[in-house]
Amino acid sequence: MKAIINGKVIIPDKNGEFITAEDFVIVYEEKIIAVMPKEQFVAADYTEIIDAAGKFVSPGFINEHIHGCVGVDTMDDNKDALLMMSKAQAQTGVTGFLPTTMTYDMATIYKAFAQIQEMQNKVEGAMILGCHMEGPFINQQQKGAQAAKNIIKVDFSLIEPYKDIIKIITIAPETLTDDEFTRQCQANDIIVSIGHSMADYAQARLAIDKYGIKHITHLCNAMTPFHHRKPGIVGAALDSDANCELIADNVHVHPAMQRLIYKAKDNNNIILITDSMRACMLGDGESELGGQKVYVKGNLAALADGTIAGSVLTMDKAVDNFAKNTGADLAEITAMVTKNPAEELGIYNELGSLDAGKQADIIIFDDNVNIAKTIIKGRTIYSVD
């Protein structure tokens, strides 16, 4: 057996809310065996002991919206791309992710789906948990960095061949005439999300309340904004129990808006994401997204016309930013990148918390969320030591 000692352990309390507890030891192999008081710990019983040295010990992060990083992208016709993404994500505390497709022609999207399906059990870092399909069923007026020429109307038959790999699909709900598409998706455990949309408040609430769309793609970005007379999608999201993705890079959403969202939403309905593109983790320079040139400077990735084009955010930095911007407790924010996405994806019984019997996906980080160690299925995948 293996053990992690001397950490500030982030675990659920009796009500399921994440808290930080000291004087506990994590015992694990491929799965978590126990979270026990340190007075019960006997060093001689263990083959490997990790000293967290006062750092936080947390479930691994889940990134449910990521296009790429370290020079590669989900849409690349290259199996090594997903391998590279998997390893790089582990360095940022991510132990599971949804490679995210873009608005290409369906033949190219199918190639990406097939590649994700093939590589799902072959990656050596963060696990591939399925994919997030962002487009092509979006609104041209809110395409962002997506290619307008490939935007089409919703059609479940187009995604049916890969319904088992698709976990989230982003659509513009104002293009729907009824709830047939959403019902078909929900019958196949596909989460439908509002994004890249011109829906007004009433249309968004119809989608949420009647069509059962309970997910918002990168809240505030590529959607109708909040106005006191026209609340738009942002208003509908804040005025409902929909789960809201949030890019906390301080570029996509101002820190003050992050605070307002935190105050308005139940913390169980916020999911931090990166929405990162291939330039993530590479520094400043020229890059590419969806066949378009992107220019990166600091935290901003943009097209030549200034349109924000994905992010260069990593999940560890997202957690740290949100903590500093809102003053929220790190344990509470950790739930936004572990428990919340795991519950939404229907896998919280398997991972997403440090409960006995769950997969041993564990990370160790300091007060500034610098990742010291990433453990996946009981194996140390990344360590700064």
Residue 24 vs residue 266, higher pLDDT: 24
**328 is known to lie in a ligand binding site:** no
Q: Is 32 annotated as a binding residue?
A: no
Per-residue pLDDT at 309: 85
pLDDT at 37: 96
Distance CA 357, CA 351 (A): 9
Q: Rounded to the nearest 5 degrees, what angle is found at the Cα of 119, between the Cα atoms of 30 and 350? A: 35
Q: Is 227 annotated as a binding residue?
A: no
Percentage of the chain exceeding pLDDT 90: 93
The dihedral built from the CA positions of residue 319, 90, 218 and 337, taken in this order, carries a sign that is negative
Residue 46 has pLDDT above 90, yes or no: yes
Is 145 a known ligand-binding residue? yes
Q: Could you give the CA distance from residue 275 to residue 60 in angstroms, rounded to a whole number? A: 18
pLDDT above 90 for 322? yes
Dist CA 203 CA 173 (whole Å): 7
Average pLDDT, stretch 173-187? 97
pLDDT at 66: 98
Contacts 24+ apart (CB under 8 A), 225-233: 230/200, 230/201, 231/201, 232/199, 232/200, 232/201, 232/204, 233/194, 233/197, 233/199, 233/201, 233/204
What pLDDT score does 331 carry? 98
| pLDDT of 360 above 90 | yes
Residues 56-84 have a mean pLDDT of 97
Q: Is 371 annotated as a binding residue?
A: no
Quick one: pLDDT at residue 35?
97
- At 208, is the secondary structure helix, strand, or coil? helix
Say how far apart CA 215 and CA 270 lie, in whole Å. Answer: 10
Residue where the block lists tokens 């491929």: 30
pLDDT value, residue 346? 98
| Residue 47 neighbours by CB distance under 10 Å | 8
Mean per-residue pLDDT over the chain, rounded: 96
Q: Binding site annotation covers 309?
A: yes
Can you tell me the distance from the alpha carbon of 290 to that of 382, in angstroms, rounded to the nearest whole number?
Answer: 30
Question: Higher model confidence: residue 50 or residue 290?
Answer: 50
Q: What is the mean pLDDT of residues 181-210?
A: 98
Residue 190 CB coordination number (10 Å): 21
Q: What is the mean pLDDT of residues 84-109?
A: 98
- Give residue-wise pLDDT tens across range 77-94: 998 999 999 999 999 999
Question: Does residue 366 surpass a pLDDT of 80?
Answer: yes
- Structural domains in the chain, sorted by start: 2-58+352-383 (2.30.40.10), 60-345 (3.20.20.140)
State residue 164's pLDDT score: 97
Is the separation of the CB atoms in 258 and 246 below 8 Å? yes
Assess contact for 278 and 68: CB atoms under 8 A. yes
Asked whether residue 178 carries a pLDDT value surpassing 80, the answer given is yes
Look at residues 107, 118, 133, 50 and name the one whose alpha carbon lies nearest to residue 80.
118
Predicted pLDDT of residue 292: 84
- Kindly report the number of other CB atoms within 10 A of residue 225's CB atom: 12
Quick one: average pLDDT of 196-207?
98
Amino acid 383 reads: S
Q: What is the pLDDT of residues 208-239, one digit of tens each?
A: 999 999 999 999 999 999 999 999 999 999 99
Query: Would you say 229 is a known binding-site residue?
Result: yes
Q: What is the pLDDT of residue 266?
A: 80
Please indicate if the annotation marks 259 as binding a ligand.
Answer: no
Among 275, 316, 320, 361, the one annotated catalytic: 275
**Is 275 designated active site?**
yes
Mean pLDDT of 41-64: 97
Phi, psi of 44 (to 5 degrees): -65, -15
Provide the pLDDT for residue 147: 81
Query: What's the confidence (pLDDT) of residue 383?
Result: 98
Asked if the model's pLDDT at residue 290 lies above 80, the reply is no
pLDDT at 307 over 90: no
